[in-house]
Amino acid sequence: MSGLDIPDLSISSNQIRSIGFAVLLIASVMAGPLVLTGVAATNGVAAAEETNEEEIEMIFATGGEGSIAAIDRETGETLWSDSISGEPVEAGAVSQDGETVYAGDRAGQIVAFDAATGEEQWTFEWDGAEYPWIRTLYPADDELFVGTAGLSGQGTMILSVDKDEQTLNWVSEPYDGAPHEFAMSQGELYTIIGGTRGSPAGQLAHVDQTSGEPHWIKDLDSGSGLGLHVDGEGIYTSSRHSNNVSAFDRESRELQWAFTDLGSSPSALEHRPGSNELFVGDGDDTYVLDKNSGTLQKTYSIGPNAMAFDPTGEVLYAEERGAGNTIVGADPDTGEVFWTNSALDRNVRTISTLPADGPVEVEGQVVDAPVDETGPGPIDPENRTAVPNATVEIWSEDGTELIDSMETNEQGQWATDEITTGDDASIYDTRVYVGGERRWDETSALPAEGDHVWMTVPMSDPELSSPTPSDDFNIPGVTAGTELEVTVTDPDFPSSHVYVEFYDGDDQFIGDDLVFVNESGSSATVSMPWFDANEQGVYEWYAVASDPYLSTNDAETDLNTFEIRDDPPIIYDSTASPDGETVSGDVELSIDVDNPNFPDDDVTVEFYEYDTGDPDVDELIGTDTLESNGTAKTEWPVTDESLEWYVVAESELGHVVFSRIFSFGVAGDLEIRDATSGELIDDRTVKVDVTAPGQSYTTYLTDGVFDIGDLEAHDETVRFDITAMDYYPRTVELRSTVGGVAVYLERGPDWEPDPPDDEDDPEDTPDYEDDENKVLVRFELTDNTGDFPPEDTTLRINDRVDNETRLVHSETFGPINRVDVILNRDERYQLEAASDDGGVRGLGGFTASESEVVPLEIGELSWPIPVEEGYEFDARFDEDTGDLDIRWIDDDELTRPLQITVRDYESGQTVFSDTHPSFLGEYRNQVALETDRTYEVEAIATRDGETIHLTRIIGPTDMDIEPLLGPMAMAGISALAIVVVAGIVGGRLSSIGSVIVSSFGALLVVVGWLPIPWPAILVAFVVSVLFYVGDTT
């Protein structure tokens, strides 16, 4: 697509002025540009087709001498032709319904023809300029946009002509050059301005459709603007003098690419429908460019000054190269010519096609409009708001058949490919529903494919109702504040969302919420906590609702008043039971609650198991209702070892108060098991001597299980002395009865299963001296810290079977400072000391090789532990013993429970685990492991209600390089290597050689082959660098 440009002429002094003027006109005609017209891009291809009574598909062409012709698209036969005047017809276009063809000439005349018959329908003459030149046309619904060229820069403006009345609607202010081409895309009108003789550079303009004035103008870098195509992806132009084609971003208008390798000035620019190809004609050749990148795809020798496409993109209609009045139908892929036609009197100026017959894709957008606005009208999308979730229905013209129904997206956009244009079926009844209400209903022709339909619908105001509390003088005081509520209704739901704001009587902001409702015309209740409304007094508030539409009004409630003048219930936390103790069996929870408003205000007390502190999430244990001051109670069948609970008290008046969190432990069972099989000892009688504060007795078990819950005291140290026939006796002392514990008894040499009842004597225990596999070990304790006095310290002896830690023996050293225990010969055990105040210290591994006295010593911590928020955890290999030393220290004794797990880093296998359910102030343990492997040490603890999960990676990492030989051999080889390197870099290289030697030594230290301290390496390197600097200076 192109625009007219008048070349510079040199007129000699001996030429007559009138002859020069005639020559100028003749030259402009010979160089006259091609104008392609259509709906998607004016002066280009219209995006639909028309059929006459014989179903003949047509194209239209205009040319010099005022000629216009209709041509059979299939055969190239001339169907009808006419002549407007003797002036060239520079502008041609087809109406959106395909029924009318428009032509405009250089004399300012616009003629409308019946597309099927060629019958002239009406004529409009423009005389608003000295040289009224109709340069380009674009037919809208009820008006024609007209671009005028004038002569020598006169009359370069845009007109709007009423198609029904043939009257002038408006005339724009003059542009700097002639509008050469119109393009309509997504409801927006664009034009390209050709340069004048004095200003050859072109311009690109976004045009206001109500005045013809530009929203914006972009100066093209060079060349007179000529061709134009606009779509949703970009803006594409051709420039005559610079021989280039350019692509611009539609939003930013920044240059995306430019093609500058045309042979001569481009005269035609067209987009091939259904592809990413731009066709450019320069009068000699046709260039096919990729629309996205501007790269050249192919060329062939048609060379049109005018071109248009079949709506399917399968046929190209163009001026034949070298024959100014001949049109060809050609294959756009190969350039093969199907037919030729020479119906025009002179040069081909425009080629237009009718809309396609059959389904096309049409898109649109729904935006808001003032309530008093009717019809689509000219709109500025920048001042409107998109309407999402609206239902768009397309019906037949008589409203009896639903053709398509769709919902707009978040940008208010919709699209359909179920309609046809160009015949009687192009008239449709289009409806838009918002909130279930019909807000738009118009019967008209839908635009052609690729165009954009704007639909403006009136939107409704949001509404507020039922504010709560309002005019209420008995509102309870709530520690968490007062809940405000209001009902929001909007007839536009779900195409709208409502923003609700709450304010107090002094216009101070309380809070806000955004309301979405998915059902048409529905309402929603919005709640907002007013945290400051929690004391006795009078309060005022109101709410404001607004939606996103510029055409609607906000809603506001009246000023609401309420008063807080009564007191909430009182929970006496100190009366809670159980709390901070150990219990057994099912538990009765109880707590005292008072209410100043008894007896007029009952209180419901709800008991919850603590997890999150949110009653909506935590599990409800039970409920009790009080009508007077008293104790609320409920039963709790417990199963866990340690439990936490709290209560929520709510009065009838609406007060809600929370207690603090209470905790207690549940006593478990003492299981007596066979150390060999791991099974409960239930085939004989087990005697258990129980010694507890204020309670000592003997009991006999036949199932191997002692119910610790039978004890009267659970928070004191309890001693169990256990004997069974043919088993070695064991002693177990428990400082806490929370949870259960298992003790494993070793078999004697005469053990047999299921002894007869008459022989079953629990006192008949074996003598370790008769068993070569047993030894008697006496442990004595020396405490150097003052934290583990023997009289108050319990020795715990564990062994490991199948990666499981099992309790063998636990007993207090006592005043005589000794613990005697029978152990398996040559078996390794883990020792642990526990003090009365919760301290735990691992004493490392012990192998029972013989009967002996073993002194145990507890010393000060020999290495620091990084402090992390009141607790300390670390693990490392002890340099003296080679054992893995694990420590957890909590000076506030808030850790409960603590679980330690050690895993092999490569295999993931658990090699050690230890769990302590009671309160811990200090934990330490030494685990005998292979020091050449890497381990992951994990600590999981609950401290003051918070779960802590920490890990340490201990041992060699993947960066370590294993030496090929032993450490001494590698150290010797490394030292020899340093000597060799020093010899190589001696002599004249000695200054830099010292630096090389020290660096090489550092490398050997890093890989672990050379045992030189790092400070020595550092000093050697610094000295070598100083010598090198001194020598070179």
Residues 558 and 580 in one domain: no
Within 8 A by CB and 6+ apart from 671, the residues are 680, 704, 705, 706, 740, 741, 742, 743
One-letter amino acid for residue 355 of the chain: P
Domain for residue 918, yes or no? no
Considering only 37-41, 62-66, 288-292, 655-659, which range has the smallest mean pLDDT?
Answer: 37-41
Within 8 A by CB and 6+ apart from 489, the residues are 462, 463, 464, 465, 521, 522, 523
How far apart, in whole angstroms, are the C-alpha atoms of residue 15 and residue 65?
27
Residues 349 and 279 in one domain: yes
Does residue 158 register a pLDDT over 90?
yes
Q: What is the DSSP string of 439-500?
A: EEEEEEE---TT-EEEEEEE-PPPEEEEEES-SEEEEPP-TT-EEEEEEEE-TTTTS-EEEE
> When comparing pLDDT for 238 and 1012, which is higher?
238
Domain for residue 116, yes or no? yes
pLDDT at position 378 is 47
Does residue 505 register a pLDDT over 70?
yes
One-letter amino acid for residue 292 of the chain: N
Residues 206 and 225 in one domain: yes
Residues 542 and 615 in one domain: no
Residues 450 and 467 in one domain: no
Residues 528 and 647 in one domain: no
Q: Where is 161: in which H helix or E strand?
A: strand 158-162
Domain for residue 383, yes or no? yes
How far apart, in whole angstroms, are the C-alpha atoms of residue 828 and residue 38?
96
**Alpha-carbon radius of gyration of the chain:** 49
Residues 368 and 308 in one domain: no
Residues 454 and 510 in one domain: no
- Strands 582-583 and 662-674 come out as parallel
Domain for residue 774, yes or no? no
End-to-end, the C-alpha distance of the chain in Å comes to 77
Mean pLDDT across the chain, nearest whole number?
A: 81
Compute the residue count for the chain: 1033
Q: Strands across the sheet with 178-185, in order?
A: 178-185, 188-194, 203-207, 214-219
Domain extent at residue 1021: 967-1032
pLDDT at position 509 is 96
Residues 247 and 394 in one domain: no
Residues 640, 634: contact at Cβ < 8 Å?
no
Does residue 434 register a pLDDT over 70?
yes
Domain boundary among the residues 610, 641, 660 is at 660
How far apart, in whole angstroms, are the C-alpha atoms of residue 1 and residue 33?
8
Residues 542 and 504 in one domain: yes
pLDDT tens digits along 575-605:
999 988 888 777 999 999 998 878 878 899 9
Q: What is the CATH number of the domain that holds 281?
A: 2.130.10.10
Residues 609, 619: contact at Cβ < 8 Å?
yes
| φ, ψ for residue 1018, nearest 5 deg | -65, -45
Domain for residue 375, yes or no? yes
Residue (of 510, 467, 513, 463) closest to 490 by Cα position: 463
Number of other residues whose CB lies within 10 A of the CB of residue 987: 8
Within 8 A by CB and 6+ apart from 339, the residues are 75, 76, 328, 329
Mean pLDDT of 254-261: 90
Residue (of 158, 156, 66) closest to 113 by Cα position: 66
Domain boundary among the residues 458, 477, 509 is at 458
Domain boundary among the residues 413, 437, 458 is at 458
Q: What is the CATH number of the domain that holds 592?
A: 2.60.40.10
Residues 63, 325: contact at Cβ < 8 Å?
yes
> When comparing pLDDT for 464 and 785, which is higher?
464
pLDDT tens digits along 317-359:
888 766 678 899 999 998 889 999 988 877 888 888 876 555 6
SS3 letters across 32-56? CCCEECCCCCCCCCCCCCCECCCCC
Residues 231 and 335 in one domain: yes
Half-sphere exposure of 602 (CA within 13 A, CB side): 6
Residues 194 and 226 in one domain: yes
Domain for residue 680, yes or no? no
Does residue 871 register a pLDDT over 60?
yes
How far apart, in whole angstroms, are the C-alpha atoms of residue 267 and residue 180?
11
Q: Which two tokens stand for residue 286?
A: 């046709």
> When comparing pLDDT for 41 and 862, which is higher?
862
How far apart, in whole angstroms, are the C-alpha atoms of residue 8 and residue 197?
8
- Strands 158-162 and 168-171 come out as antiparallel
Q: Where are the beta strands (DSSP E) in 702-818?
A: 705-707, 718-724, 727-734, 739-745, 774-783, 793-801, 804-812
Domain for residue 957, yes or no? no
Mean pLDDT of 463-469: 94
Mean pLDDT of 179-195: 83
How far apart, in whole angstroms, are the C-alpha atoms of residue 893 and residue 895?
6
Q: Where is 999: in which H helix or E strand?
A: helix 990-1006
Domain for residue 557, yes or no? yes
The CA distances from residue 988 to 980, 983, 994, in Å, are 16, 11, 12
How far apart, in whole angstroms, are the C-alpha atoms of residue 306 and residue 298?
19
Q: For the chain, what is the domain count?
A: 5
